[in-house]
A and B are shown apart, each in its own frame.
Chain A
Amino acid sequence: MSTSTHVVGIDLGTTNSAIAAVEVAGGEKAAIEHVAIPQVVAPGEVDARPTLPSFLLLPTALEVPPEAMMLPWSGGAQPGYVVGEMARERGSELPDRLVSSAKSWLSFGGVDRTAAILPWRGAEGDDEDEGEETGARVSPLEASARYLAHLRATWDEAHPDAPLGEQEVLLTVPASFDAVARELTVTAARQAGLEKLTLLEEPQAAFYSFLARAGDSWRKQLRPGDVVVVIDVGGGTCDFSLIAVSEQDGNLSLERVAVGDHILLGGDNMDLTLAHAVTQKLAADGQKLKSSQYRGLVHACRRAKETLLGAKPPKSATITVLGGGSKIIGGTVKSKIEREEVEKLLVDGFAPVVAQDASPRVQRALGLRELGLPYATDPAVTRHLAAFLARHGRRPTAILFNGGVMKGALLRKRIAEVVASWYGGEEVRVLEGTDLDLAVAHGAAYYGLVRHGRGIRIRGGTARSYYIGVESAMPAIPGFAPPVKALCVAPFGMEEGTRVEVPGQELGLLVGEPTEFRFFASSSRKKDRPGQVVDPDEEELQELAPVLADLPAGERPEAAGQLVPVTLASHVTEIGTLELWSSASDGRGRWKLEYSLREGGGE
């Protein structure tokens, strides 16, 4: 049996993952349900939680006994690692063993994403000469695969008659993921045994969740000409998309017209900001925190943040951290945080009032910089948003918020006010009704139903245009690399299941030995058609990891090491990945180009 009985939406998040599912047979009225995820929560204790924290702990047997990480369905096997709540909690005490933000690494072209580099220990951690014990490490790809494998195992345990490998799975990715990161996500999912897979962009999934919850009333909430900006700020990343509403043949239609770049900025920074402020306050009062109390402090700060940024905030909140030792009353540390302080620190810090032409501050990079994730240096969401809207030149008429950070009512209010101020103060509507934590998984499951022909579909296609670097044919000049032109191979908005041939001149492809092509993308050059030639130094073009062509000489051994005339074609698969193909002009051979994952210009 291999027909899907369920449509399953999986939100593989940077800090939390969630699942929602719906039975196909239930028809249009079928309820989409969130699936609780059993996971190890403490040594030898497995319990269900609404989400799976996306953390992987790789401890030695001295740090966590292997039997403490066993899962009831693993048949007594000791995997030697643990994902989820216990990984996050115990991992905060063992930072060198903890893999976090694997998803951000998956989209970072500056490292080999298939090499065992996590937990990331910075440059010095790689230095074998120090004699430091290195411990287990995994690749960003493997870490993501393990989260998905855990989700699959818990699903299969609960649905023995409908294993996840046979279900239709909608896996969400940030809209800002480029072709390479999408390909890697699919590889991780396949590795985890998910066979029937389709990718969906997270802001679109959030929008589908809004459509599902609004029912038919969404047609009253949105009108032709509306442009909705989806602002998705999760634990670790910030993702924007624009969705335009238009009218076609008397019906409303939706189109995703722009996506933002990948911004590593999220809500985890907020709790740390607050914890830092409270630590300073305590020090001023002469109270000192033990390091064992720091985790308690961050938890207390998160609670205070949620209270003080909530809908009806009190004037202040108490921060209590119990003693770290067994004497808890004696060691209790107490402080108070005023609402005004939180507003100043968090609302002004993360959503300052800025002008429409603001752009994120870029800190001058030092000549030598430790290699690591390219975190955003400007924490102001409003500035990133201003730059995004300016680049795409569309005026938003409504906002849809998503992500745990946006639970802060004051933050939502501030962002809506700032956006309104950019367009003459006219109020920008805020679309309500989604669950900010779980909307992505929910919306993904709903999209699965939409694909069965129920409900409205957002048109989108590729969120970028893609280019391949072609060396110019010109006489060699000593000391100069031949100039490179960027040839558009896939236009913006290319729909799933379509392919295009790249017109224009034939290219010479080296056969019989590996060749590398530079690979570029742009999220703003929407008019470029396949075959168009662009200057790769153009600011709108971002260089991605190169594409590799290792074309076997095959049927033409005489051509080994020589240039064969080829034409290029691109194909956006039904899954949502981009494939590049080259075909010999004489019809003798056709080859797929592979993404190189080692290193790229990305950054």
Chain B
Amino acid sequence: MSRFILAFACFFKLLFTGKLPAAAAARLPEAKKPEAKALPEPKKEPEPEKKKPVEVKPIVKPSGDLAANHRDGALALLALLQREGRLVDFLRESLDSYQDADIGVAVRDIHRGCKKVIEEHFVLEAVMPGEEDTRVKVPAGFDPGEVRLIGKISGEPPFTGTLRHHGWRVTEVKLPTLTEGVDRRVLAPAEVEIASA
């Protein structure tokens, strides 16, 4: 399994349950632990064994801890964007029959809602602060994961170039705690209004 997926799974599992997945805990190198500390709710020590039997709910296909938690985390974020910003409704609606102005009116509301989700749950910063389309210096020892070089590159850093996109980095994640027993696949329940007699 790639390190990326492992890290991603740990990330969601820790955020939503405060515990490391059993499979991941065994494989995770000790040196990775400090990363968990930076998370908002570094609850007690991981206790994967104890919780394991409870984790597989009837509604969850027994697909292993990693996949299930990864999936629940993704679904929860999608549900948030739908609840606050109606994002799923919007993306699933065909725009063909509407005028741009009508779409514009609705988008302001959708934008406000989705923006609220992003702002309340993630702290974002530019990877490379600075005005776009100005000259910047890429120092020696830079991380190619953080700075993507475009064009013909020769020689050794430092390089000088034009900043095309300042990039985004999440410095803090404040996602809600998910409690057990709720089917996360229901992003939004059906609504039925019962007329009072």
Please, which residue of chain B has its CB at the minimum distance from the CB of A68? B182
Chain A residues closer than 8 Å to B108, beta-carbon distance:
318, 320
What is the 8 Å Cβ interface bit string for chain A, positions 264-288, against chain B (1 contact, 0 not)?
0000000000000000000000000
Residue contact B176 to A328, C-beta cutoff 8 Å: no
A99 within 8 A of B: no
Question: Which residues of A come within 8 Å of B, CB atoms?
Answer: 38, 41-48, 65, 67-68, 70-72, 76, 291-292, 318, 320, 322, 324, 326-330, 332, 334
Complex alpha-carbon distance, A292 and B193, angstroms? 8
Chain B residues closer than 8 Å to A41, beta-carbon distance:
176
Please, which residue of chain B has its CB at the minimum distance from the CB of A71? B179
Chain A residues closer than 8 Å to B80, beta-carbon distance:
42, 45
* Cβ-Cβ contact count across A and B, 8 Å cutoff: 81
B166 within 8 A of A: no
B149 within 8 A of A: no
Q: Smallest CB–CB gap between B191 and chain A, Å?
A: 6
Complex alpha-carbon distance, A276 and B127, angstroms? 47
Residue contact B106 to A328, C-beta cutoff 8 Å: yes
Chain B residues closer than 8 Å to A328, beta-carbon distance:
86, 89-90, 93, 106, 110
Complex alpha-carbon distance, A42 and B80, angstroms? 9
Q: 7 tightest CB-CB pairs across the interface, nearest first? A: A44-B182, A47-B176, A67-B181, A46-B177, A329-B106, A70-B179, A45-B176
Q: What are 24 pairs between A and B in contact, CB < 8 Å?
A: A38-B177, A42-B80, A44-B178, A45-B76, A45-B182, A46-B179, A47-B176, A47-B177, A48-B174, A65-B182, A70-B180, A70-B181, A72-B177, A318-B105, A320-B105, A320-B108, A322-B89, A327-B89, A328-B89, A328-B90, A329-B93, A329-B103, A330-B93, A332-B106
Q: Given A42-B83, A329-B95, A330-B93, A322–B110 Cβ distance below 8 Å?
A: yes
Residue contact A322 to B176, C-beta cutoff 8 Å: no
Number of B residues, CB within 8 Å of A: 30
Question: Which residues of B come within 8 Å of A, CB atoms?
Answer: 76, 79-80, 83, 86, 89-90, 92-93, 95, 97-98, 102-103, 105-106, 108-110, 174, 176-182, 184, 191, 193
Chain B residues closer than 8 Å to A334, beta-carbon distance:
105
Residue contact A292 to B191, C-beta cutoff 8 Å: yes
Chain B residues closer than 8 Å to A45, beta-carbon distance:
76, 79-80, 176-179, 182
Residue contact B105 to A46, C-beta cutoff 8 Å: no
Given contacts A42-B80, A45-B182, 7 further A-B contacts (CB under 8 A): A38-B177, A44-B179, A67-B181, A70-B181, A72-B179, A320-B105, A329-B106
Residue contact B86 to A322, C-beta cutoff 8 Å: yes
A329: which of B102, B174, B180 is its contact (CB, 8 Å)? B102
Complex alpha-carbon distance, A44 and B180, angstroms? 7
Chain A residues closer than 8 Å to B83, beta-carbon distance:
42
Complex alpha-carbon distance, A65 and B93, angstroms? 29
Residue contact B102 to A332, C-beta cutoff 8 Å: yes
Complex alpha-carbon distance, A151 and B102, angstroms? 44
Q: Smallest CB–CB gap between B102 and chain A, Å?
A: 6
Central interface residue in B79, B102, B174, B179, by most chain A CB within 10 Å: B179
Complex alpha-carbon distance, A46 and B43, angstroms? 15
